[in-house]
Amino acid sequence: MAIVSTQDVRQVALLARLALHDDELKKLAAQLDEILEYVRQLQAVSTDGVEPTSHVLPLADVTRPDQRLPSLPPEEALTLAPARHGHLVKVPKVID
């Protein structure tokens, strides 16, 4: 049985904010299924008592002093924006 259904991919695509056509969804579901089937071999590895590794280096406690640095000039920051309104970035209306 497939691990991933087209419906699963549709749900994940919504979480990831990707618009996908039905044929893309179907193709992706099949490919994902194959990849996850392969990934499933991890289940065969015994990891009891094994700590996960999120960072390979034993680095810790890296901070910076509470010091102000110059911000970007607003014009420079805002020229990157695809749409703006004065000094504000403009987006389609947000509904709570």
Which of 13, 22, 23, 26 is in the footprint of another protein by CB under 8 A? 13
- Within 8 A by CB and 6+ apart from 4, the residues are 29, 32, 33, 36
Per CB under 8 A, does 96 bind another protein?
yes
Tokens (6 digits) for 33: 């299924």
92 dihedral zone (left: phi>0; alpha: psi -120 to 50; beta): beta
Is residue 19 a contact point for another protein (CB under 8 A)? Answer: yes
Shortest Å distance, C-beta 75 to another protein: 10
Binding site for another protein (CB under 8 A): 4, 8-9, 12-20, 24, 28, 31-32, 34-36, 38-43, 45, 47, 50-57, 59-72, 74, 76-78, 80-83, 85-96
